[in-house]
Amino acid sequence: MPLITDTAHAFLPYPDVPVLHAGTGPLAGLCFGVKDLFDVAGYPTGGGQPLVLAMSGIKTKTAPAVQQLLDAGAKFVGKTVTDELAFSMNGNNAHFGAPINGAAPERISGGSSSGSASAVSNNLCDFALGSDTGGSVRAPANHCGLYGIRPTHGRISLAGVLDLAPSLDTCGYFARDVDTFARVSSVLLGEDPVAMPTNIRLLKPLDIWSMLSEDVAVAQAKPLARTEAALGKAVEMRVILDNPDSLYWHFRHIQGHEAWTVHGPWIERFCPPLGPGIAERFAWSKTVTDEQFAEASVYRKRFKKHLADVLGADGVLVMPTAADIAPLKSDGGEALESYRNRSIQMLCLAGLSGFAQISLPLGQRLGAPLGLSLLGPAGSDMRLVRLAQQIANTA
Amino acid sequence: MPLITDTAHAFLPYPDVPVLHAGTGPLAGLCFGVKDLFDVAGYPTGGGQPLVLAMSGIKTKTAPAVQQLLDAGAKFVGKTVTDELAFSMNGNNAHFGAPINGAAPERISGGSSSGSASAVSNNLCDFALGSDTGGSVRAPANHCGLYGIRPTHGRISLAGVLDLAPSLDTCGYFARDVDTFARVSSVLLGEDPVAMPTNIRLLKPLDIWSMLSEDVAVAQAKPLARTEAALGKAVEMRVILDNPDSLYWHFRHIQGHEAWTVHGPWIERFCPPLGPGIAERFAWSKTVTDEQFAEASVYRKRFKKHLADVLGADGVLVMPTAADIAPLKSDGGEALESYRNRSIQMLCLAGLSGFAQISLPLGQRLGAPLGLSLLGPAGSDMRLVRLAQQIANTA
């Protein structure tokens, strides 16, 4: 059993099967956890769903993203708990438990990459792989005080990884400090295909910022100031196409339609008992029509072009990662659902466009971490990482 | 995946790993399922609990009880769903689903050997292994219209099987027809250590029968008459020592204390999310004191001696298996808990004494099966099987 001292419930108690890694390399000396959506040879892949775990068997191949890390000298220390089928942001799996938020133990860790964020925030490993479809890396990064990335769609391989909504799914990761984050990024991202210009334009989308409550806006003032100190004064602008509801619903229609396409057949075949929220979300996903999906796909194209035009080659949005700090564990399902929906309105910019976004743990409110995000054009991932370093190095 | 046509949700969808069996033998031509508490080489053992499944790894040894069946020529066709940690009689696992009762699909299959009873009652296999601690074979046999046995404690090996409460746990099994039941019994039981006399005394414990509601008593009249036609008029008597509450609570104190001893440490270590009823039952089990357990152990000794005296070498109790036919799936938690508690008062006679009991599918009520039981002295198992055959062959 890996990491027997894990009292954070971040790791799954799979029997400890050794996984080879290179003796030297850019990540030598670092250890990492892997969300239980990624195949690792010698382990099952459970996806946070007991029947999926039962069906999995022991995998014989390791997902390329994991293999890249091993080849770079990082040590695999275990598979981390994921929200059920990665279709939640609450970090509370009805079957496998609720990994503890190392930065705010009374608050949820967020999901669906809950165990990975928990493991890193509890110092159980140096970094961890997650996946981000609608915010599953960025939200837990916000909640647990971590650096977390949703890369440009397609930038990091998702071969050997369970799908949720393939046109939205991405492979992301977490680290506590920006230098570890940058080391891992170099390995998984390599250099950007087209380097951004030396001078970037920092953009502040007022229509996103105006979604914040006053308390949260106040808490985001310092992180924003620090970012501007490092990257220059942000230009105020607007980014939403049509209205926030369009963004939100088109995103959800794409996610729901694809999630049902991926999981519907076996869910109908096996009738697995799905946890609270997950069952309802799949039931809703089933109702998304082909027409809604087609309409959403048209909107997505428009939005992607719109955001590409807005950003150009040198634009970087600076924006809140989520609606607020992590909800309390004691919050009811309705409060969590409301938090999720408000956050998706921010998180879906990167989701719909497929562009890269990094959450930086720059803020605090009520003693809990609060993330600020940089969102850049397609392929700007590594540059965003370097901007994050620049900000971190600005006192 | 075994038995892809299993729409009863009786089997776990583990990848199909071939399990060798003898080409000939007394069970040649029969196929069987195995409750997912028993180790089968090539498969994990999940115990109906996702973290137990995660911890299991792939077993390399097969439990001797399963091996005996394979050696006798029976074909293994899959592992069956169990209630979570076998600590329920509801047949509704919050993580792995609710196997369908083949005899009364709108009613629960009963548990904890829910998948085994479901598989046999849905004709997915000829017989199936289960375990019975407090009624986990007898109750589902009652509910699904099957022959089911709780053997004398220790009679069939439980090596390689997950414990619930070791001093109460037994290995039982189900079959649809009495001849298959007898064939399996010959293999797993062999001959009784001491043969019962040719003439047995059928005993009707009025204090148990008086627990039935009038409707159920009416429905049990025919099965009782048929049994008396085969085995002779039953002598009315009383069997409970002190009062029904003593039986019930001492049984529950032993079961709870042992269940917590077995599972408490890892439950406290991993904080697994336990399903409805299971969590409460373990929480209660934790509160059972050493004094209560000691007192219950003294009572159990007294009761065992008392029942041994009552039965002598030739006594066989004829009694209802459970309080009624299976509850409806739509019944709420409270109704199920009440049903369970009323049934335990009957089921705990064999539990506390460790004596053998067979449930026969002789009755019906509202179109659903109703079981009648024979309970004999320690070691009378095979004789009870032959008495069941005798009854079945009496029109």
Token duo for residue B298 = 């003294």
> Does residue B330 have a pLDDT over 60?
yes
Cis peptide before A213 (omega within 30 of 0): no
- Nearest CA to A3 among A104, A82, A81, A94? A81
Under 8 Å between Cβ of A113 and A136: yes
pLDDT band, very low/low/confident/very high, at B1 (cuts 50, 70, 90) = very low
Nearest residue of A to residue B50, measured between CA atoms: A50
Name the percent of chain A in helix, strand, coil, to the closest 5: 40, 15, 45
pLDDT of residue A136: 98
Can you tell me the distance from the alpha carbon of B139 to that of B114, in angstroms, rounded to the nearest whole number?
9
Which pLDDT value is given to residue B395?
Answer: 74
> At residue A225, does pLDDT exceed 50?
yes
Please state the rounded mean pLDDT for residues A74-100.
97
Positions of A marked catalytic: 35, 112, 136
- Please give, rounded to a whole number of angstroms, the shortest distance from the CA of B50 to a CA of chain A: 6
Judge whether residue A244 has pLDDT over 50: yes
Q: Residue B344: its pLDDT value, please?
A: 95
- The pLDDT of B118-127, averaged and rounded, is 98
Dihedral through CA B139, CA B143, CA B148, CA B151, nearest 10?
A: 10
Q: Which residues of A8-40 are buried (b: 16+ CB within 10 A; e: fewer)?
A: bbbbbbbeeeebebeeebebeebbbbbbbbbbb
Average pLDDT over residues A37-62: 98
- What is the spatial distance between Cα B138 and Cα A311, in angstroms, rounded to a whole number? 69
CA distance B72 to B22: 6
Question: What is the structure's pLDDT at A73?
Answer: 98
Tokens at residue A44, please?
């099952």
Q: Is the peptide bond before A109 cis (omega within 30 degrees of 0)?
A: no
| CA distances for A156 relative to A148, A262, B251, B356, angstroms | 14, 20, 58, 61
User: Predicted confidence band at B193 (pLDDT cuts at 50, 70, 90)?
Assistant: very high
pLDDT value for B5: 72
- For B201-243+289-392, which CATH superfamily applies? Amidase signature (AS) domain (3.90.1300.10)
The answer to whether A14 contacts B55, with C-beta atoms less than 8 Å apart, is yes
Does A2 score more than 70 pLDDT?
no
Q: Considering chain A, what is the average pLDDT of its residues?
A: 97
The residue type at B145? G
**Domain spanning A31-189, CATH architecture:** Alpha-Beta Complex (3.90)
Token representation of residue A29: 């000396």
Q: Which strand (E) or helix (H) includes residue A76?
A: strand A75-80
Q: Which residues of A touch B52 (CB under 8 A)?
A: none
pLDDT band for position B240 (cuts 50, 70, 90): very high
Residue B203, helix vs strand vs coil: strand
In the three-class reduction of DSSP (H, G, I as helix; E, B as strand; rest coil), residue A190 is classed as coil
Residue entry with tokens 């996806």: A47
User: Does residue B95 belong to the interface with chain A, where contact is any CB pair within 8 Å?
Assistant: yes
| A17, A85, A270, A271: best to mutate for the B interface, most B CBs within 10 A | A270
Residue A231 has pLDDT above 90, yes or no: yes
Tell whether B9 is within 8 A of chain A (Cβ): yes
CB pair distance less than 8 Å for A273 and B9? no
Identity of the residue in B13, B14, B50 whose CB atom sits nearest the CB atom of A96: B50
- Region B35-42: mean pLDDT is 98
Q: Note the pLDDT tens digit of each residue in B148-165.
A: 999 999 999 999 999 999
Q: Do B97 and A54 touch (CB under 8 A)?
A: no
Please calculate the CA angle A30-A34-A38 and round it to the nearest 5 degrees. Answer: 140
φ, ψ dihedrals at A179, nearest 5°: -75, -40
In the sheet with A147-150, reading across from the earlier edge strand, the strands are A75-80, A31-35, A127-132, A170-175, A147-150, A356-365, A368-376, A315-320, A201-205, A235-237
d(CA A387, CA B5): 56
* pLDDT higher than threshold 80 for residue A1: no
CA distance linking residue B222 with residue B220, whole number of Å: 6
Cβ–Cβ below 8 Å for B54 and A95: no
8 Å CB contact of A96 and B1: no
Convert the pLDDT of each residue in A127-182 to its tens digit: 999 999 999 999 999 999 999 999 999 999 999 999 999 999 999 999 999 999 99
B266-285 residues touching A, CB cutoff 8 A? 270-273
Tell me, yes or no, if A41 comes closer than 8 A to chain B by beta carbon. no
Q: Is the pLDDT of residue A197 over 50?
A: yes
pLDDT in tens, A272-317: 999 999 999 999 999 999 999 999 999 999 999 999 999 999 999 9
**Which chain A residue is nearest to residue B17, measuring alpha carbons?**
A57
Q: Is B157 exposed, middle or buried (0-12, 13-18, 19+ CB in 10 A)?
A: middle
| Half-sphere exposure in the Cβ direction for B366 (13 Å, CA) | 12
- pLDDT at position B312 is 98
Nearest chain B residue (CA) to A59? B15
- Reported as a single tens digit per residue, the pLDDT across B342-361 is 999 999 999 999 999 999 99
So what's the pLDDT on residue B333?
85
Who contacts B31 (Cβ-Cβ below 8 Å, separation ≥6)? Answer: B74, B75, B76, B77, B125, B126
Q: Which residues of B are catalytic?
A: 35, 112, 136
pLDDT tens-digit map of A310-367: 999 999 999 999 999 999 999 988 999 899 999 999 999 999 999 999 999 999 999 9
pLDDT of res. A6: 87
Mutate to test the interface with A, among B58, B59, B95 (most CBs of A within 10 A): B95
Q: What is the pLDDT of residue B125?
A: 98
Q: Where are the domains of chain A?
A: 31-189, 201-243+289-392
Tokens linked to A24: 């030297």
How many CB atoms neighbour CB B345 within 10 A?
Answer: 19
Tell me the β-bridge partners of A38.
Answer: A161
Number of A/B CB contacts below 8 angstroms equals 77
Is there a common fold for B31-189 and B201-243+289-392?
A: yes
Residue B332 CB contacts under 8 Å (≥ 6 apart), including other chains: none
Judged by CB atoms within 8 Å, which residues 298-337 of B form the interface with A?
Answer: none
Give residue A246's pLDDT band: very low, low, confident or very high (50, 70, 90): very high
Sign of CA dihedral B173, B175, B181, B184: negative
pTM recorded for the entire structure: 0.96
Q: Which of A5, A95, A267, A274 to mutate to test the interface with B (most CBs of B within 10 A)?
A: A95
Determine which of B4, B114, B270, B271 to mutate to test the interface with A (most A C-beta atoms within 10 Å): B270
Q: Kindly tell me if the per-residue pLDDT of B3 is higher than 70.
A: no
Q: Using DSSP bridges, classify how beta strands A368-376 and A356-365 pair: parallel, antiparallel or unpaired.
A: antiparallel
Chain B within 8 Å of A46 (Cβ-Cβ)? yes
Out of A9, A55, A94, the one facing B13 most closely (by C-beta) is A55
C-alpha B257: how far from its chain's center?
20
